Amino acid sequence: MAQINYSPGIEDEGGLPVMIADIIKGNLNAKPYRQNDFNALNGNIYMHAHDAEVDMTMVFEKGKLTVHGGKVGEPKVSISTDSGTLLDLANLDVKFGLPFYFDKVGLGVLKKLFVTRELKLSGLFTHPIMLTRFTKLMSCR
């Protein structure tokens, strides 16, 4: 079972960090086979929602996740966009064990990443496996 913790004060504040952690918890409960992806993650993922002025760091330590407010350590993956696009990541479909980018939601994410640049993502080429595993954890589909 996944161990998900919050740094002091985060759970009381609620908002986007708690929502993202709840999405991951819910997905692990609904799709226990994704536990392997959770257990394999090791490193920090930083997320910034510029419209909500919220940033958070998820520190994964092979089977344990701690959610922090702000930027913690040196993230391997950083995602910066609006809060709606962050939540769109939860609507990406997963096919054959990989995120599927060739439907309406997936193409919208790709457009924001490569065309309009509304989605900024570092670590795409340096940590693609980590990013893929994280995307699978976020996906409700």
Report pLDDT digits (tens) over 49-70: 999 899 999 999 999 999 999 9
pLDDT band (50, 70, 90) for residue 9: confident
pLDDT of residue 96: 86
What whole-number distance in Å separates Cα of residue 134 and Cα of residue 58? Answer: 10
What whole-number distance in Å separates Cα of residue 44 and Cα of residue 51? Answer: 22
Backbone angles phi, psi at 105, to 5 degrees: -65, -50
- Give the domain ranges of the chain: 3-138
pLDDT of residue 73: 96
Which pTM does this prediction carry?
0.93
Query: In this structure, is the dihedral angle defined by the CA atoms of residues 98, 101, 104 and 109, taken in order, positive or negative?
Result: positive
- Give me the amino acid identity at 34: R
What whole-number distance in Å separates Cα of residue 57 and Cα of residue 59? Answer: 6
pLDDT of residue 98: 86
Quick one: average pLDDT of 104-113? 93
What whole-number distance in Å separates Cα of residue 127 and Cα of residue 118? Answer: 21
The CATH class given to the 3-138 domain equals alpha beta
Task: Indicate if the pLDDT at residue 36 is higher than 80.
Answer: yes
